[in-house]
Chain A
């Protein structure tokens, strides 16, 4: 039954990949199509308001700069709003202003599509803040990420046309993709009993006779974009484990598919851009293979349960249910965990801290690789980076200098990729090591053993991969954690985006190399194998020592 549930969800996803991928391609191909009639008017109106008269294609520098400048403005406005939230309207529960280092962490967290939350929504965020800051940033950060991925695709597949116009892409992503989808998903969720209200907390008398404050709010609207935009920041502290955010297995499946579909469809969109659908499917297949491997690891580890509890003679035939919701069970929890860390959403429907050691290794590893579907665009772009690396190393073995999609990979591209590929382990391992060297770090650990390494490295990996899920169990609302994770999120998002956009910019102006039978093919099974190998050898080996000392050591000592 468990396996069947999982297979059905994966099957539905596979059905959605082609139509959604095609739709995304039509949004950004900038060729006239039917959807223009529906959305064209709104877009033209918006272009007029913002004074976007010239919508010419930009080079990579201008594109990156436009995206960063837009994000800076949004960060500044949001920071001011959070700091003055207490005095602003839309605050029926009387929530105060947010503290400085927490505000810093929060705006960066939401702007970078990470949604790491060191605050708790019920007690730390007004309805105004939820709607104007949090929900707004969930849209804009997702649109920024998607725009980058699209620009990257244009760069590596089209020649000499520039990467597109950022502002146009940004608006199109909202108008044609996120807003309509969010509207549909919100209605579905409301229909399935997720609250959507501006009323304040409700006080109710419990069966035990005591009084309880039941927090409410505009939950469904936030919930929809939270997943569609692979954001993950919950309305409530416990995120999608909360019965108002995720009341039933059906909403659980809707949320899983919401966060997964667009990321999983991007390779297909890429196949359309490359005018070679096989190329897109090749990337999809690698992502799916890695995903299924990690899903199995989590599912079977959780199913096996905790050996210590098993030894106590407690019947744990249902698997390790600690920290999981009974209404989801092992299957829906394992699937949600693997999808949320694959798509780097970061919403959680169970406590990741209480996953079994190897069950917790899978989500950690997915974020370390950051290529298994990945967040809005980022995972795709990273996967292409590994593809270029694979081409570079193995392409030589056919006796030609390496080329990808008909473009030579030379020293300039390798230097830029070097920046991106170095940054990821650096911003995960260096701050983790620092956290173990000072009391500012070690004081936050709630577990003395190898599990504390998992806690710390999970926090930084989640930040670096812009996932945002918390392992929890970490007392992380301190200046040290707020600032360090804030910086990691910033570097994790923008450095690699700039480096990889530069790669796209550099490839876009290259003379295309003719394809002959001697060309190294990148759209077949053999290359899918090479790509998987490259991801595992270069991506995974980097983190093997800490994984061995963390989850693996915990697993071994537990048995």
Chain B
């Protein structure tokens, strides 16, 4: 043993080497401490008290201090500390309230030196003075701190925290006389060792217990505290009031905190519950740990840096009965795995997106859109701080703005008010709605209505749109639009082009033929966008805000969908025209070729009176038998889902109502109900009560219609006895009189009955109106001042 104690050689920090290694202990550890020259470590716990030496490759057990056949509770350690000046001196805090010192230089097997049993409760912490050999401080559950002179048999001074449970005591590294104590009630106290009567300073550091504190090894004013509230705080104690300068939020309560040597801003923490990892934080970067050690399988109970001037090795003991040496190089760096990306919506629909610069730059070559520059890439560069060893990540922030106009929902309100959903023949409804959409500059919607009319009109109704078109010149526009579009589509043989032209033609309705160059332009842009990565999504997300200006972008987005929906659409258009008429005779089969005919029709509608219309309809009836209206149902269904997904649930619901039975069976009830509910909700937010009510009324979903049947009960009082009328009918069951007697003519009212909510009297609407014109009082003579509004 003598030999062992002399092993102390002056190791300089540079010679420390080793690897990440561990050894099994026999029992869970509660605390560990390392001797000054970093060659040995002591592990203490309820059932363990051993010294291990740190070899290059492994831990080697040197000494078992837990001796005796039936070890007493004095060996059950809550804390242990190795003296930093005197390598033979150890102190432990026992769970039964004893403070024990151990002298490794003793020749006997039992190294116990002194035993102080002054504390009444468990001692949570012992701490040697960093420079004074004989001074030992303890903090206990009973709320007292005691300072022992190891040359005496008992404590030299007692400090009362005036509160329960001292959790940690630490001598200041730089101020000879100062020590800090942390308490279970969240306070931290600073004491002068010469003045046991009163603390120098006290402040509340945490909510709930402060489990640990640690003075900064170099900076004299800094104190780190960790608490049950999952926070680590760094306090500047040089000012008059303790000032919180850094705060790190961890994911579990903080059991221990230790500053990392030689690194001013680093500290290591571990937790006593749930989380088994050890984290090293750079306090300036509080949101992500600088490094993590993930070896332990149960909570870490003790951490200590191996040498006070070496930042590369950390020792830790754990409840899983292992002792680890962690080499810093082997730590995981969470920052490498983190995604430095963020996304946020602004109050007015602006979207901010920050991502790694490398990701952003790849698509930075995308040209700004014609509609104006909506993205403002901003690049942040944090000035690299040499002392900060964090991997530097620069991210770019893009802000996508929506202009206020496009975000307005005027069109929604107007559309809701102007649409006709019932009360007229189907074709008229469609035309009306098409016109509404047209007036609001929503050509696609308008076209859709027109197409619907064409698809689903039965022959008898075909003539009706005629006059409509004739009446207003504008009314012809949508129709022509759709046809011109088809011409181009067939001309180009490309569905995408067709869709494009549709979008374009909206911008300028008068031009029937948008320039081909324009279209190709759009296509290029289209492809470019497709090529870009994740970024592109956000632009589209923006576009989904459903504003007309972004229309073209919206189409970009849908290229994939269109690729399969459109072929069908092209079909549909072609056939639909043939479907239009259904006269008994089929005269011109050949003419059924679509573009030609459609052109024809467009002209005809513009120029000829009604009769010509019917002529045409007679002229192309041939395919009618083959193409019933139900033929279009799948397409219409997809169209509706498309609108609903685009956020234009208004369109989906309106079409649903107007088409009625024609389409209802094609769409499952849940989806329908969902659409209805969304639309009604929207309407109600815009306070369009009448429209919402109409929609509810017209809906066929039972779940929707019942909305109108809720809370329809009207509670009334009997006008005689003033008690609530319980049974339905005119006779009050209590006073056995007829309740609804007109107060003016004293006859029973059958029909419209008006009554005062104040006095329950009333009568025939007409009588009461007349009465109240001349008198303010109730006609029944009850004296109530009734009011008729």
Co-assembled chains A and B = no
